[in-house]
Chain A
C-alpha cells in the first residue's frame, strides 16, 4: 500500500473516523458483556446475564432481586462482585493509560514517551510502596495509598522533565536516559524498603503493584477510575488544538499564538493524576500508553482531535481483552496483566519501529 504512508493515516476522511468511533463505542459494552462470560469456572451464559439484568433493574428501577440472583448467592458474587468490576476497571485503566501516553508524547514532543518509559509509573510505585510499608500519608485518610501513588507520579514526571533539561534543552535521548535513571532509582528505593521491612505480606502486596493486577477491583474504586477516565478524556479533548501545536515545538507555537509552558505543566499534572490513580487501582501496566496511541496514529493520523477519542476507546478495549486473555491463557492460573501487555506490546512496538513507512509519524 504505497499510498498509506503518504497520507495522514490509513483511514482518512471524516466518515471513516465517525464510523470507527461509533464502532468502538458500540464494541465497548458489547465486549463487557462478552468478556464477562469468560472465567476460571464456566458459568451458563443465561445465568451470567440474569445476574446483570437483575442488578441493573434493581439499581435503575428499584425492582427487588429474587433470592436466586441476589447478593450472597455464589453466582451473583462471582459475576457482579468479581468479574464485572474487574472488566470495568480494565477498560477505565486502559483508557487512562492510552490517554496519558498520547498526552505525554505531546508534552515531551517525542513519540517514545509513555508513562512507563518516562519513569512516572515507577515514581507512582515508589509512592505506593512508601504508603503500604511505612504508612506515609496515612493521616490523609482512607485512600492515602492512592494519594501516595499520585504524588509519586507527579514527582517523577517533573523530575524526568527537569533532569532532561539539565545542561541544555531536552531531547529524546536525554528524556529516555533521565526516565530510565529515575525508574532505576525509584525501583531501588522500593526494593530497599521491602528488604528492610522484610514483611512477607508487604512484599507480595508490592509485587502485585509492579506486575499489574486487576484482581482487587471493586465498585467504589471503579467509580473514581471511571470518573478520572471520563474527566481526563473530556479535558484532553478540549486541548486538541494546543496539543497539535505542541508537536511543532515551542517557537512555532509562539508564532501561532500559544505559549506552551503553562499548558505543559497542566498536562503533566493531569497525566500524573490519571497514572497515579491507574497505578493505585491496577499497579504498573506497561506499553499500553505507548503502543495504543501509535496504532491510532497509524490509522487516523497525528491530529489530536481524532487521536484522543480513538486512543481512549482502543485502550479501553485493549486492556479489557488483555485481561480476559490473562485469565484464560494459563489453565488454572492467572497471568499478571502487566506481564501480558509487555509481552504483546513490545513486539508491536518493535514492529512499528521496523516499519519505516510509519516512522512514528515522520522522521527528523
Chain B
C-alpha cells in the first residue's frame, strides 16, 4: 500500500509547524523522515495517522484520501508506534497487545484463539515471549517500545508508521527493531533520529527543516557533508566502509569552529 502526503500545513498555537510538506512511500518500501529537533517530523506523521487534522493538504493511501475512511478502516490499513506511551492505568502486556486486534473487532465480539495466536506471534517477533502477564508500566522503556511495536504488528496492517521507534532502545534492539520492521515487507514510514540507522535501513529519506521538505532521495545521494551542514549545522564525513555500508562520521569541534566564524 502506497502512502502519499501532499502539501500538509499545520499551525499550532499560532506557530506554523508544517508549511506544505509532502512525501511518498512506495508500496513495500521503508522511508525515513529525518531532520533536526522541532523540524516537524512528528507533526507530519501525526497528520498521516489521523491524530491531527492538517489545515491544508491531504494524505492518501493507495490514492484514496484518508478522510474517506472511518478511523476504524484506517486502523486496518496502518498501525502506529508513537513516541510517547506512558499510561496512567496499567495493563498487562497481553492486554496491551490484544488491543491491536480491536480495529478488526465488532463492538461485542470476543477475542478468540486466533487473536491470542496473533498476540503470541507478535510478542515473539519483538523478543518479548514470556512477558504476557507482566504489567506494562513495570517494563523498561525499551521493553515498552517493543510491546507497542508488538501491538502494531498484531494489527496486521499493510502500512506501519513509526515515530522514532529506536528511542530508548539499546543498540542491539535498535538494529533488531529496524531489521524486523524491514523484514516484514510492509510499507514503512519512520521518523528516525539516528542518521546512521536511517542510512542502513531506509530505502529513501525525506529531510525536514522548519516544516518544509528540504531534500529527499536514497540515503547515498541525499546524505552529503554539504547537506548535513545546511540541515543540521554539523561537520561530518560521509564514507562507504569496507562492507559497502554508508557511514556518517561526525567531526568534533565542528560546531565551535563554525560559531567562532572560521571560514
Q: Which A residues are within 8 Å of any B CB, using their own CB?
A: 5-8, 12, 105, 109-111, 172, 238-239, 241-242, 244-245, 247-252, 254-259, 301-303, 359-364
- The CA-CA distance from A88 to B196 in the complex, in Å, is 68
10 smallest A-B Cβ distances: which pairs? A362-B90, A257-B75, A362-B137, A257-B103, A257-B72, A255-B80, A361-B89, A8-B92, A251-B51, A247-B89
A sample of 11 more A-B contacts (CB under 8 A), given A7-B134, A105-B89, A258-B102, is A6-B133, A12-B133, A109-B88, A111-B88, A239-B107, A244-B99, A251-B46, A256-B99, A257-B73, A301-B91, A302-B90
Interface residues of B in 51-92 (CB under 8 A from A): 51, 70-76, 78-80, 82, 85-92
Contact yes or no, A254 B135, CB < 8 A = no
- The CA-CA distance from A161 to B103 in the complex, in Å, is 28
- The CA-CA distance from A363 to B86 in the complex, in Å, is 8
- The CA-CA distance from A40 to B175 in the complex, in Å, is 73
Min CB distance B106 to A, Å, is 10
Known: A245-B99, A301-B95. A254 touches B50 (CB 8 A): yes
Interface flags for B135-146 (1: CB within 8 Å of A; 0: not) read 111100000000
Chain A residues with CB under 8 A of B78 = 255
Interface flags for B84-120 (1: CB within 8 Å of A; 0: not) read 0111111110010001101101011000000000000
Interface size, chain B (Cβ < 8 Å): 38
A171's nearest neighbour on chain B, judged by CB, is B88
20 A-B residue pairs with CB within 8 Å: A8-B133, A238-B108, A241-B102, A242-B107, A245-B99, A247-B87, A249-B87, A250-B51, A251-B46, A252-B82, A255-B49, A255-B50, A258-B72, A303-B95, A360-B89, A362-B87, A362-B136, A362-B138, A363-B90, A364-B86
Contact yes or no, A363 B88, CB < 8 A = yes
Min CB distance A5 to B, Å, is 7
- The CA-CA distance from A212 to B138 in the complex, in Å, is 40
Min CB distance A165 to B, Å, is 15
B13's nearest neighbour on chain A, judged by CB, is A168
A172's nearest neighbour on chain B, judged by CB, is B88
A9's nearest neighbour on chain B, judged by CB, is B92
Chain B residues with CB under 8 A of A251 = 46, 51, 82
B46's nearest neighbour on chain A, judged by CB, is A251
Contact yes or no, A256 B87, CB < 8 A = no
Chain A residues with CB under 8 A of B87 = 247-249, 362
Min CB distance B92 to A, Å, is 4
Min CB distance B111 to A, Å, is 9
Chain B residues with CB under 8 A of A250 = 51
- The CA-CA distance from A38 to B92 in the complex, in Å, is 42
Known: A255-B79, A257-B75, A258-B72. A302 touches B51 (CB 8 A): no
Min CB distance B21 to A, Å, is 20
Contact yes or no, A254 B49, CB < 8 A = yes
Instruction: Output the residue of B73, B87, B107 with the most chain A CB within 10 A.
Output: B87
Instruction: Output the residue of A8, A245, A361 with the most chain B CB within 10 A.
Output: A8
Known: A361-B89, A363-B88. A5 touches B138 (CB 8 A): yes
Contact yes or no, A5 B135, CB < 8 A = yes
Chain A residues with CB under 8 A of B105 = 241
Min CB distance A216 to B, Å, is 37
Contact yes or no, B103 A302, CB < 8 A = no
Chain B residues with CB under 8 A of A301 = 91-92, 95
Known: A238-B108, A247-B89. A362 touches B95 (CB 8 A): no
Contact yes or no, A241 B90, CB < 8 A = no
Min CB distance B242 to A, Å, is 41
Chain B residues with CB under 8 A of A245 = 99, 102
Chain A residues with CB under 8 A of B133 = 6-8, 12
Min CB distance B72 to A, Å, is 4
Known: A7-B135, A251-B82, A302-B95. A256 touches B102 (CB 8 A): yes
Min CB distance A306 to B, Å, is 10
- The CA-CA distance from A250 to B85 in the complex, in Å, is 12
Chain A residues with CB under 8 A of B70 = 257
Contact yes or no, A254 B88, CB < 8 A = no
B52's nearest neighbour on chain A, judged by CB, is A251
- The CA-CA distance from A311 to B263 in the complex, in Å, is 71
Contact yes or no, B102 A302, CB < 8 A = no
Interface residues of B in 151-191 (CB under 8 A from A): 155
- The CA-CA distance from A99 to B103 in the complex, in Å, is 26
From the candidates A105, A241, A302, name the one contacting B91 in the complex (CB within 8 A).
A302
- The CA-CA distance from A266 to B190 in the complex, in Å, is 36
Contact yes or no, B51 A6, CB < 8 A = no
- The CA-CA distance from A303 to B98 in the complex, in Å, is 11
Chain B residues with CB under 8 A of A359 = 90, 137
A244's nearest neighbour on chain B, judged by CB, is B99
Chain B residues with CB under 8 A of A361 = 88-90, 137
- The CA-CA distance from A244 to B96 in the complex, in Å, is 9
A364's nearest neighbour on chain B, judged by CB, is B86
Contact yes or no, A254 B51, CB < 8 A = yes
A168's nearest neighbour on chain B, judged by CB, is B13
Known: A7-B134, A8-B133. A257 touches B107 (CB 8 A): no
B50's nearest neighbour on chain A, judged by CB, is A254
